[in-house]
Chains A and B, each alone.
Chain A
Amino acid sequence: MIDDMLVGLARFLVGGRPDWIGAQPSPRQRIYFANHGSHLDTILLWAAMPKSLRATTHPVAAADYWGKDRLRRAIAIGLLNSVLVDRAGSAGGKDPLAPLEEQLRRGHSLIIFPEGTRGGAKLPGPFKSGLFRLATRFPEAELVPVYLENLSRAFPRGAFLPVPISCHVRIGAPLRLGEGEEKDAFLIRARDAIVAMAQVR
């Protein structure tokens, strides 16, 4: 109910109906990875999933931000089914990717933002290595690139309210990790898949 209202409000303000360009919605296991510019990213990408898939598709959110107080936890975990990741985790001796792998082992899908933080640019910054590690350990999961257009304009970092600017969610063709493909080459290829969709109109 509340999640439908959240999605409805986001759609009214910024549009953002999904364009499935290279893939169709499917119940098979996937790791959606997208450029990250705004808090709206998670909501619109999650809303892009058919309702039946939302229960098994988990956006990955930063624990230091979304775990901070009860309201944020309620939105992230209660409404959007998020998995919280501890960005400073490895420093504390814990494995930050462990909760993500737990969901993948259950056969669920993930939505991740491999830049690790929100940027304001049209094109994504360099990717962190998490995507590579997940691709190596879960080779059967499809890696689906997503380009989110205009979201950082509609709701930039530090803003209090989103402004109505039309946004687009473009979902591209799945990639796979190549045989013996190196980490850096793979991360560049994954980023390029998103960049290529930024040029589509």
Chain B
Amino acid sequence: MMDPTLLPLFAGLVAILSLATLTGRLLRGRARTPEARATVDNLNARIRAWWLMVAIFALAFTFGKTVTLVLFALTSFYCLREFISLTPTRPADHRALAFAFYVFLPLQYVLIGIDWQSLFSIAIPVYAFLLLPVLAVLKHETDDFLARTAKVQWALMLTVYCISHAPALLLLKIPGFEGRNVLLLFFLVAIVQASDVLQYIFGKLWGRRKIAPVVSPNKTWEGFLGGGAAATLLGAGLFWITPFTPLQAAGMALAIVLAGFCGGLVLSAVKRSMGAKDWGRMIEGHGGALDRMDSVTFAAPLFFHLTNYYFVP
């Protein structure tokens, strides 16, 4: 059953997106130069994709844990596929890749589904990390072995292990918050994505000083500080859907914002080291799935463990 609290939340999202759609229409009419028009078109494509993402989330939350897990498993699947597609692997890595996709990815989500938290936390960092290089070494190819191993391990770590910590929030047993864990997941996704959007908006409006021009040319100090502060305030304002006090909610939101920022930066560097600007072309205006999930990869495990440490007895 859908938590009744989610209804006003999704209504709020629909209101915000409607406002964004209207603004996008207005800006489209007022854009004169070709560059301005390109920016507005990209913005409108992003807004359209947001509608779709909100619809998918609403569906998942309505139908409960299994559908939510399948949705995140598919997200991990597409992110892992994008990561591996850009990484130059060799035929000798094929068996390790097959295990990553067909064994460890489903296993991770099944473990969450059956509430096996102790194994879920170590399946990939212990068992996959040790097994994957063994599978590759059996092909007797030592060229770049360490680099190749690291690529497959990191791909699995970021796209499956880290992202799976978002739905794993459903496992946490917080006294007085039973049956409402899906709101924690909503909190995480809302703050991560709001932080991305707000940093984008603040950056477009007031951005001057670039933070890391080589790695991520669109990130500015003005965007990061303004957008981050706004997202933290939003987190404090959402305290009523969480087990946190307003101050704790702000602290959690700040942690999510900072981790998300680092995730975006690190994955951008990974992507550029492989000579690409976007992870893929799956979502118009957003690039690939991993372009949308890069902040989640760092924010989800951190938020999971902070909540687990401080709120689960």
* Chain A residues at the B interface, C-beta cutoff of 8 Å: 15, 120, 150, 152-153, 156-161, 163-166
Q: Is the CB of B91 within 8 A of A166?
A: no
Scoring B residues 268 to 280 as 1 if CB is less than 8 Å from chain A, else 0, what string do you get? Answer: 0000000000001
Complex Cα gap A120–B101 (Å): 21
Is there an interface contact between B98 and A163, defined as CB atoms closer than 8 Å? yes
* B94 with A163: CB separation less than 8 A: yes
Find chain B residues with CB under 8 A from A150 CB. Answer: 85
State whether A159 and B91 are in contact (beta carbons under 8 Å apart), knowing that A164-B80, A164-B81, A165-B84 are contacts in the complex: yes
Identify the B interface with A (CB < 8 A): 77, 80-82, 84-85, 89, 91, 94, 97-98, 101-102, 280
CA distance A160 to B94 in the complex (A): 10
Given known A161-B98, A163-B94, A163-B101, contact A153–B89 (CB-CB < 8 A):
yes
How long is the Cα–Cα vector from A150 to B85 in the complex, in angstroms?
A: 8
A15, A158, A165 interface centre (most CB from chain B within 10 Å): A165
Instruction: Closest B residue to A122 by CB, please name it.
Output: B88
- Interface class of chain B by DSSP: helix
B91 → chain A closest CB, angstroms: 4
Which residues of A have CB within 8 Å of B280? 166
A117 to B257, CA, bound (A): 52
A166 touches B85 (CB 8 A): yes
Cross-interface CB contact of B81 among A157, A160, A161, A165, cutoff 8 Å: A165
Complex interface: chain A residues within 8 A of B80 (CB): 164
The residue that A159 contacts in the complex, of B77, B89, B94, B101, with Cβ under 8 A, is B94
From B105, which residue of chain A is reached at the shortest CB distance? A164
Residues of B within 8 Å of A157, CB to CB, are 91
Contact A164 B94 (CB under 8 A): no
Give Cα distance in the complex from A120 to B81, angstroms.
20
Q: Return chain A residues, CB-CB under 8 Å to B77.
A: 164
Partner of B102, one of A156, A159, A161: A161
